[in-house]
A = this chain, B = another copy of it.
Amino acid sequence: MFEALEVGRTIKRKAFQDAALPLRRELLQLQFALQERDFPVLIIVSGVEGAGKGSVVHRLNAWMDPRLIETQAFWDHSDEEETRPYFWRFWRALPVRGRIGIFFGSWYTRPIIQAASGSLSDAELSQELNQILDMERMLVADGALIIKLWFHLPADIAAERVREDRLRELTESHLEHPDDALFSTRYEELARVSERAIRATDGGHAPWHLIEATDENYRDLTAVQTVLQSLKDRLNDGHDGERITPNINLGDTNQPTLLDRLPSDAKLTGDDYKQQLSTLQQRLESLAWQARKARTGCIAVFEGWDAAGKGSAIRRVTEAIDPRLFQLHQFAAPSDEERAHHYLWRFWRQLGRDGSFTLFDRSWYGRVLVERVEGFASEVEWLRAYSEINRFEEQLFEHGLVVLKFWLHISAEEQLARFRAREETPHKRHKITEEDWRNREKRNEYALAVNDMVVHTSTADCPWTLVPGNDKRYARIEILKTFCDALDERLNG
């Protein structure tokens, strides 16, 4: 693959200078046009050490409007990053719609270096590359333009450049790169692994642009032209989002669903409840401390019908846990900053550090529930959300988090009774709105959406727990029990 990048392409100084001004002008105009559009641009800069990636990034910044670009170096790994799933660092650095982000060092760096140094097996590398592919496809499906640049140098020139860089660093007090030693001694392994990484992730969604980097003028001009052409193509095609029209059968809202199989009469007596509540809460308190000590985190999602008692069930959980050990997040409409990102961004940003509990009162499942039923997400959007969500939760699980998901179920009759009771109780009246009544009319559609959600996203590692909730006490105990058992299993099992 890389032989084709050692053919000695060059551009003369004069030709470079002549090309520069019109290129800069056009780039600036494209940047301004991008501002008005509804998608982000991500430029990934990768390649051989010594190929001048830093200079290219510098060039891109200098030739465009730096106010509309953000360069991310992923240089100093912070402990806040290390104690969260790998991709958290990239999520928080993603550009917003209408802007350009440059990732200098990206999700490719770690797996390539680890595989080349032998600390990652071939199978593990494949798995990591698949995660990258999923991430990129997801962003592209959401509208992002991803431009991936790979800069190549032949072995002898690479070695020479790295030596020169070292020398310059010594004299000019540049910072030494921690991976230098690896890069200069393992050129062959790095080339082999890089080739594999490029092959595995080179797709129509975000193709790789391989650039010969021996001649600086050729390298820079080709890189800038590639960025310009990609931007131009995308801006001219007029589409800001998904372009595939799905052909799907949405199912029959009159068929029974999983929810119909839940017992409607499961209940607990008051005494039984009190005793179990107290035992389970004490158990949960102690498990939360154990989890903190073991630096095991927990993610819990709470979904359910309106008036199903979600709030009070969550309180039985939070009451038990020391407030220093959990964060509870409630989700309604996204903020304008959140809207300028992929819909999963606002959940990623709330992930707590290892050893803490992050509780979600409503969650990313809104995409396949309310957004599906109310038409806020297009069919193709919520359909692809199933796999996006599965990939997301897989990452949480693989990072070592305990992932719990609860659907709190009540029957249509019970819901009606609770709505009426709320309307009649002065201090509860604020809890019932027009919207609740409207949602109720769409109960069958919601039930189908819940059914499909469970079918698609209840996995062995991140299972759904459907909780019969006509009796509030029964539901609360079920949730606490599931919580304790899952934590116990992970911590002591």
Contact = CB atoms under 8 A, between A and B. Distances in A.
Interface string A12-31: 00000000000001001100
B65 A322 contact: no
Contact of A323 (B58, B319, B323, B324): B58
A73 interface: yes
A279 to B, nearest CB: 15
A490 B293 CA distance: 43
Nearest to A324: B73
B315 A173 contact: no
A23 to B, nearest CB: 14
A62 B319 contact: yes
As for how many copies of this chain the complex holds, the number is 2
Interface in A218-237: none
Contacts of A70: 327
A336 interface: yes
Interface residues of A, number: 50
A376 interface: no
Contact of A319 (B61, B102, B311, B361): B61
Contact of A61 (B65, B289, B323): B323
Contacts of A102: 323
Given A67-B330, A78-B79, A58 B322 contact: yes
Nearest to A169: B289
A296 B242 CA distance: 45
A363 to B, nearest CB: 13
Contact of A66 (B54, B78, B173, B318): B318
Contacts of A79: 78-80
A286 interface: yes
A62 B318 contact: yes
Interface string A430-455: 10000000000000000000000000
A315 B78 contact: no
Contact of A172 (B62, B289, B336): B289
Contacts of A322: 54, 58
B314 A67 contact: yes
B173 A293 contact: yes
A65 B79 CA distance: 31
Contacts of A173: 286, 289-290, 293
A412 interface: no
A286 B427 contact: no
Interface in A315-329: 315, 318-319, 322-324, 327-328
Contacts of A337: 335-337
Nearest to A64: B315
Contacts of A29: 427
Interface string A76-98: 10111000000000000000000
A324 B290 contact: no
Interface of A: 25, 28-29, 32, 54, 57-58, 61-62, 65-68, 70-71, 73, 75-76, 78-80, 102, 104, 172-175, 286, 289-290, 292-293, 311, 314-315, 318-319, 322-324, 327-328, 330, 335-337, 353, 361, 427, 430
Given A25-B427, A67-B328, A73-B324, 15 more contacts: A32-B430, A57-B323, A61-B319, A62-B319, A67-B330, A71-B324, A78-B80, A80-B80, A104-B323, A104-B324, A173-B286, A175-B289, A175-B292, A175-B293, A335-B337
